[in-house]
Amino acid sequence: MKRVIAIDGPAGAGKSTVARRLAAELGYLYVDTGAMYRAMTLKVLMCGVNPADRERVAKIAQETNIALVTGPEGAPQVVLDGIDVTGRLREPAIDAAVSMVAAVPEVRERLLGLQRQLAQRGGVVLEGRDTGTHVAPHADLKVFLTASPAERARRRYRDLVAAGHRTTLDEVERDLRRRDEQDMTRAAAPLRRAPDAIELDTTGRSIDAVVEEILRYCREDA
């Protein structure tokens, strides 16, 4: 049985839903690394700092504490300097700034320590952009999820509207393209498929089917 599972891919590929379900099926801890970058971005915005100001963002990273805890109902919570901020992490202002904050090496260094600590316990599903390449290069199973740009935009748009945000499909598509570009071209731990990752295209496939396929890989002896 695989003990450390890394799920990476671009925004809207279905990573969060799949990783969360997988962790529940296996009884593993779900580690949402994107949520940690989002919490750091929230802190930057709350401090009134321009997310493009790398020096000030780096300083904030050094003074910020982020933790992942399991809430009362078993749902994962993100705690920023002692306060549960889980409900605020999907706001469009954070979507717009998170790639800039995540590109700052001091931010990545700060969060990498925590992510590696969690990975070392075993029994984890790590989800993000660099979990198979940097956080847990020795993961037992690496999956790179993709989907067509149109489908990724549709899913993200649906989630935002369901959460009560006002936006348009066009706007969402532009934001996804910009984030992909920033996440793939940054110098520090860019988004890319690990050579030993299994690539799964989720376009037109149900969550159940994708989770089932990954569970089969998890149970394979290797």
Decide: is 33 part of the binding site for ligand DC (CB under 6 A): yes
Decide: is 98 part of the binding site for ligand DC (CB under 6 A): yes
Decide: is 99 part of the binding site for ligand DC (CB under 6 A): yes
Decide: is 202 part of the binding site for ligand DC (CB under 6 A): no
Residues 6 or more apart from 5 whose CB is under 8 A from it?
Answer: 22, 26, 28, 124, 125, 126, 139, 140, 141, 142, 143, 214, 218
Using the minimum distance from each CB to ligand DC, give the nearer residue, 27 or 75: 75
Using the contact rule CB under 6 A, the part of the chain among 57-65, 96-104, 199-207, 211-219 near ligand DC is 96-104
Binding to ligand DC (CB under 6 A) within 153-192 occurs at 179, 183
- Among 30, 37, 144, 157, contact with ligand DC (rule: CB under 6 A): 37
CB < 8 Å & 24+ apart, contacts of 179-186: 179/10, 179/11, 179/95, 179/98, 179/99, 180/10, 180/11, 182/99, 182/100, 182/103, 183/10, 183/11, 183/99, 183/102, 183/129, 186/99, 186/102, 186/103
- Among 102, 139, 200, 214, contact with ligand DC (rule: CB under 6 A): 102
- Among 3, 17, 25, 34, contact with ligand DC (rule: CB under 6 A): 34
Unique residue bearing structure tokens 């100001």: 53
Which residues would be at the binding site for ligand DC (CB under 6 A)? 11, 33-34, 37-38, 98-99, 102, 128-131, 179, 183
